[in-house]
């Protein structure tokens, strides 16, 4: 694409006092006619019309009438079609509206963008990608500002409404809101329809208009809304940004979130937002994401104790369609780092970010090199994966920058594991021995070339020697913002450094235990290996994390399980008294399972269910039971995965794994 200024000779506008309007249904063109030479409004990126860059009207599909235009590409870089519709000027304020109908062929995609200036190729204001039934919008800075769905081989209407004065953008599909966001660029000058690799789409009924905007006296506006995550099963914290788009100061308002049949309300008080000021509200109650495409809305009300003057911008919306993890899958991210490495603060920042974003589905391990926290076995084992520091690998795949692990995580979290991995830790405070039994419940066949290993990591690691001071290239801010390191000195003194995810030990080796499994392993088989660690007094057992690994024959990590020292997962401890035990069936379960409590005398019975991260999902005290009894456990609302049922009979706790499908 080349930069060029297009001079619009004439534009079909319907003029009004406060608006300019353009429409094109392509009915004025003959079938097969190039639209560039025939239209004063359409041109191409280079300005060369009537050739490969141009598009032709077609009667093969139409949303209305008989004609539309068709764009397609099989080129790696896209194109050559590359058409531009100029808006007649650069709009920098007021309300700009764009609308058109799209028809995307099966197994094809579509793309368009808005250019911010009249010189195309200078600044992209917005990108819209449509592929595999999903619409995603970004501004070149932030991804997934809005997300919606469509059906292949079916016409649908996409509408963008941008208040360029307040910075509030909103997208609709067939009249339903799919997103509200604050765009980083608030100027528009032209539309660019450009087919990328594997595009194949029709466009019809193109329209844009523009209206002036005058601020109301009292107007609070929802300018962005973020559900807070994109992985099903995680508990997330939604946020919404509210801007004073009026002239009267805003002191209070309410926000109501609706998602998956539940409603959450936040009452915001004690504010003094003057004109143009914004407030980012976080919901106190976390929301659990569920699989499938579900709308979420946040509605603003009770502004300064009543209604505001403009209700059109009181709602934020998004379509929540999270990634659904494969049952029992935990992804491992291993980062190479060192206190001597000036760019390694970047790794620390992103390792913390992934822990926050991916929670129980992520096991982060910071493998230190040539500093006081280095473990020689781990460091030498992983060194061949890295060409420099910081670097990272996800499930021991290809080397990536620590900031770029998300893409590999998304792929791996959806990859069904060969076995589900759970840990049973047994801590002896007197000897400081930690015995960990790593158990593999096979979901598919395997062989003796698979291996188990066990890793200990520690959070909150500090030290006083010079080796704990962190070299810091981000000091002074010249390299941009990096999680606060930009305001710290170089080096960061040891007294100011706290290290998380530190790899303390790996047993029996980096490559795993070659005696883990027999030659033939079948789906449904279960095998365990036990590893014993002795923790130095300087290690804080309360900050230790246990990560069990299943390594496949190629050396990749197939799956993992993680726990703390005191909150193990994969427990299968049973009472030594055979007359005080319990059974559970069916297991795996779908909608419910029966817990059969086996007792031979009056006993106090308690039951709890925890997930793989150790979070308690349900707990109940059944009081005295007099004989063997059945407890019905409802699993229909539990996410797919592994849970642990703890049954306590007269202060003796027993635990079984429960798999929910």
DSSP string, 523-555: TT-EEEEEEEEE--TTS-GGGEEEEEEEE-TTS
| Same-domain pairing of 437 and 544 | yes
The reply to whether 71 and 181 lie within a common domain is yes
Last residue of a domain, one of 533, 564, 595: 564
Q: What is the average per-residue pLDDT within 215-238? A: 92
pLDDT higher than threshold 70 for residue 219: yes
How confident is the model at residue 567, as a pLDDT? 65
Residue 93 has what pLDDT?
96
State the pTM of this model: 0.72
CB-based contacts of 39: which residues, under 8 Å, 6+ apart?
24, 29
Contact present, 599 and 623 (Cβ < 8 Å): no
Residue 7 scores a pLDDT above 50: no
| Secondary structure class of 602 (helix, strand, coil) | coil
What is the pLDDT confidence band of residue 634, given thresholds at 50, 70 and 90? Answer: confident
pLDDT tens-place string over residues 583-629:
777 777 777 788 888 887 888 899 999 876 667 888 888 888 877 78
Q: In what order do the strands lie in the sheet containing 592-598? A: 581-585, 592-598, 629-634
Same domain, 191 and 231: no
Instruction: Report whether pLDDT(4) > 50.
Output: no
Confidence of residue 635 (pLDDT cuts 50, 70, 90): confident
CA-to-CA separations, 15 to 11, 18, 21, 25, in angstroms, rounded: 11, 8, 7, 19
Q: What is the pLDDT of residue 373?
A: 98
Indicate the residue among 277, 299, 320 that finishes a domain. Answer: 320
**For the chain, percent of residues with pLDDT exceeding 70:** 94
Residue 385's CATH number: 2.60.40.10
Q: Based on the domain organization, do 480 and 560 belong to the same domain?
A: yes
Kindly report the CATH number assigned to the domain that includes residue 97: 2.60.120.560
Per the model's pLDDT, the better-predicted residue between 487 and 332 turns out to be 332
pLDDT at 100 over 90: yes
Q: What is the reported pLDDT for 169? A: 96
Which pLDDT score is estimated for 613?
61
- Claim to verify: residue 311 and residue 456 sit in the same structural domain: no
> Considering only 180-184, 232-236, 544-548, which range has the smallest mean pLDDT?
232-236
Mean pLDDT of 239-243: 94
One-character DSSP codes across 434-500? EEEEEEEEESS-EETT-EEEEEEEESSB---SGGGSBP-TTGGGTT---TTGGGS-SSBPGGG--B-
pLDDT for the residue 446: 98
Which of 18-22, 37-41, 145-149, 257-261 is predicted least confidently?
Answer: 18-22
196 and 56 part of one domain = yes
pLDDT of residue 67: 98
pLDDT (mean) for 27-36: 98
pLDDT at 628: 75
Let me know whether 275 and 345 are in one domain.
Answer: no
Would you state the pLDDT for residue 614? 66
Domain-terminating residue out of 285, 320, 355: 320
Q: Does residue 506 surpass a pLDDT of 60?
A: yes
Residue 186 lies in a domain: yes
Q: Please name the helix (run of DSSP H) or strand (run of DSSP E) that holds residue 37, with its range, or none.
A: helix 35-38
Read off the pLDDT band of 159 (50, 70, 90). very high
Name the β-bridge partners of 127. Answer: 113, 138
Position 580 scores a pLDDT of 64
Please tell me the distance from the alpha carbon of residue 615 to that of residue 94, in angstroms, as a whole number: 49
> Considering the domain boundaries, does residue 642 fall inside one?
yes
pLDDT above 80 for 218: yes
pLDDT averaged over the chain? 91
- Please state the domain count of the chain: 4
pLDDT tens digit string along 166-212?
999 999 999 999 999 999 999 999 999 999 999 999 999 999 999 99
3-state secondary structure at position 38:
helix
pLDDT at position 633, please? 87
pLDDT > 70? residue 20: no
For residues 153-172, average pLDDT: 96
Tens of pLDDT along 111-127?
A: 999 999 999 999 999 99
Whole-number pLDDT of residue 611: 77
* Residue 631 maps to a domain: yes
The domain containing residue 183 runs over which residues? 22-211
Sign of CA dihedral 470, 475, 477, 479: negative
140 and 197 share a domain?
yes
């Amino acid at each position: 694409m080349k930069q060029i200024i297009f001079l619009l000779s004439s534009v079909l506008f319907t003029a009004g006092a406060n608006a300019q309007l353009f429409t094109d249904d392509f009915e004025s063109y003959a079938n097969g006619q190039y639209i560039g030479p025939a239209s004063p409004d359409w041109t191409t990126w280079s300005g060369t019309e009537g050739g490969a860059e141009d598009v032709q009207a077609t009667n093969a599909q139409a949303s209305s009438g008989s004609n539309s235009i068709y764009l397609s590409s099989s080129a790696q870089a896209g194109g050559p079609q590359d058409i531009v519709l100029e808006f007649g000027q650069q709009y920098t304020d007021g309300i700009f509206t764009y609308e058109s109908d799209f028809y995307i062929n099966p197994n094809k995609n579509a793309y368009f963008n808005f250019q911010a200036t009249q010189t195309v190729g200078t600044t992209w204001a917005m990108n819209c990608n449509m592929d595999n039934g999903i619409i995603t919008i970004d501004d070149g800075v932030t991804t997934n500002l809005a997300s919606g769905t469509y059906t292949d081989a079916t016409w649908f209407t996409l509408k963008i409404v941008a208040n360029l004065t307040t910075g509030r953008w909103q997208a609709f599909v067939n009249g339903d809101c799919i997103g509200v966001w604050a765009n980083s660029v608030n100027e528009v000058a032209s539309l660019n329809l450009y087919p990328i690799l594997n595009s194949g789409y029709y466009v019809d009924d193109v329209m844009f208009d523009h209206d002036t905007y005058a601020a109301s006296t009292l107007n609070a506006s929802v300018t962005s809304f973020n559900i807070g995550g994109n992985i099903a099963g995680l508990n997330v914290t939604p946020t919404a940004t509210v801007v004073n788009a009026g002239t009267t100061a805003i002191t209070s308002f309410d926000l109501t979130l609706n998602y998956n049949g539940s409603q959450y309300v936040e009452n915001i008080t004690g504010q003094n937002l003057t004109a143009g000021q914004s407030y980012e509200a976080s919901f106190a109650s976390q929301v659990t994401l569920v699989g499938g495409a579900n709308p979420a809305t946040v509605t603003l009300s009770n502004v300064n104790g009543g209604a505001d003057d403009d209700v059109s911008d009181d709602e934020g919306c998004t379509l929540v369609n999270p990634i659904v993890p494969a049952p029992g899958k935990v992804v491992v991210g291993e980062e190479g780092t060192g206190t001597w490495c000036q760019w390694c603060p970047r790794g620390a920042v992103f390792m913390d970010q992934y822990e926050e974003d991916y929670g129980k589905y992520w096991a982060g391990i910071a493998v230190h090199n040539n500093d006081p926290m280095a473990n020689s076995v781990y460091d030498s084992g992983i060194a061949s994966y890295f060409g420099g520091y910081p670097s990272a690998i996800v499930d021991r795949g290809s080397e990536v920058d620590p900031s770029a692990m998300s893409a590999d995580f998304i792929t791996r979290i959806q990859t069904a594991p060969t076995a589900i991995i759970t840990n049973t830790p047994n801590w002896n405070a007197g000897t400081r021995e930690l015995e960990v039994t790593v158990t593999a419940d096979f979901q598919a066949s395997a062989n003796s070339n698979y291996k188990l290993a066990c890793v200990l990591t520690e959070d909150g690691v500090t030290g006083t020697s010079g080796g704990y001071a962190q070299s810091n290239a981000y000091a002074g801010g010249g390299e941009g913002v990096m999680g606060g390191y930009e305001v710290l000195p170089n080096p960061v003194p040891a007294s100011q450094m706290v290290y998380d995810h530190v790899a303390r030990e790996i047993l029996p080796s980096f490559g795993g235990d070659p005696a883990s499994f027999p030659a033939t392993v079948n789906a449904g088989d279960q095998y365990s290996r036990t590893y014993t660690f002795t923790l130095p007094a300087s290690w804080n057992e309360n900050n230790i994390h246990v990560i069990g690994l299943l390594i496949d024959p190629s050396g990749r990590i197939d799956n993992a399980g993680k726990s703390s020292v005191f909150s193990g997962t994969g427990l299968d401890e049973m009472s030594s008294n055979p007359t005080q035990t319990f059974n559970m069936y069916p297991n795996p379960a779908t909608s419910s399972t029966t817990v059969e409590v086996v007792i031979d005398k009056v006993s106090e019975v308690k039951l709890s269910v925890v997930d793989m991260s150790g979070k308690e999902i349900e707990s109940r005290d059944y009081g005295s039971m007099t004989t063997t009894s059945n407890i019905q456990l409802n699993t229909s609302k539990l996410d797919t995965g592994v849970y642990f049922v703890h049954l306590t009979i007269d202060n003796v706790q027993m635990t079984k794994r429960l798999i929910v499908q």
